């Protein structure tokens, strides 16, 4: 689907029935090692901090994914956890079109895609839902899997005082929540760790995870 620096960004599984010549794409399968680890690290971390990964009464899990790619990670989570509302924010309309037409991605009642800048969406959500954000936070997890053409995560999604960090400080994340960002192996994580840590410093009970 997309290659940058020799890295394959997205893969989808195609199933062909022996009784039919029609091929069916399985958009909720995570065939790449990095998508497997990204999804499982997030869910394991959420379970460890006490979030309702397993349904508990009427409790609903809420996850924000910034960056759609092929859509396998949000699809995997939404299909496996029907009580989880997954919001995906993707800047590029062409990526949304490619995921739907070529990767088997489809929206459903608990999985929606918003075409918008991820940092701006996060800031707007905190502003529009200010009371809820202040009292209990908006999302159990925030997953960042977005890149510029050069392969770098946009600065607004990891820099101190920038869009996502500001939204985290304002209550984007619920207590006992998780932030997971997918960086390429060469990236020095000191600045992102400091930015997220600073943003969450005044919100007790928060954990965060950086996935390399």
Question: Do 147 and 181 touch, CB atoms closer than 8 A?
Answer: no
Token reading at 121? 């969406």
Token reading at 60? 């609903």
Cα–Cα dist 126/90, whole Å = 18
Q: Which of 87, 117, 140, 145 is catalytic?
A: 145
Residue with tokens 């994580």: 189
Apex 93 CA angle, 36 and 208, nearest 5: 40
Question: Do 175 and 136 touch, CB atoms closer than 8 A?
Answer: yes
Q: Of 137, 177, 141, give the one whose Cα is nearest residue 39.
A: 141
Question: Do 74 and 111 touch, CB atoms closer than 8 A?
Answer: yes
Token reading at 93? 């309309």
145 catalytic? Reply is: yes
Residue with tokens 């790619």: 69
DSSP for 124-167, written as a single string: HHHHHTHHHHHHT-SEEEEEE----TTSPPPGGGTSTTSHHHHH
Catalytic residue numbers? 145
């Amino acid at each position: 689907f997309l290659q940058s620096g020799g890295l394959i960004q997205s893969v989808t599984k195609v199933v062909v029935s022996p009784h039919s010549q029609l091929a069916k794409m399985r958009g909720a399968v995570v065939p790449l090692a990095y998508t497997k680890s990204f999804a499982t690290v997030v869910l394991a971390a959420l379970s460890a901090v006490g979030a309702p990964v397993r349904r508990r009464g009427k409790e609903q899990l809420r996850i924000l994914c910034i960056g759609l790619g092929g859509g396998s990670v949000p699809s995997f989570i939404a299909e496996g956890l029907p009580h989880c509302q997954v919001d995906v924010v993707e800047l590029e309309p062409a990526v949304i079109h490619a995921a739907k037409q070529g990767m088997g991605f489809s929206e459903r009642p608990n999985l929606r895609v918003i075409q918008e800048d991820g940092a701006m969406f996060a800031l707007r959500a905190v502003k529009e839902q200010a009371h809820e954000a202040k009292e209990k936070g908006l999302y159990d997890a925030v997953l960042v899997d977005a890149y510029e053409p050069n392969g770098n995560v946009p600065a607004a999604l990891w820099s101190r005082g920038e869009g996502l960090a500001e939204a985290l400080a304002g209550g984007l994340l619920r207590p006992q929540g998780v932030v997971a960002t997918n960086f390429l192996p060469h990236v020095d994580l000191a600045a992102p760790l400091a930015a997220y840590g600073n943003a969450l410093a005044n919100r007790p009970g928060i954990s965060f995870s950086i996935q390399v």
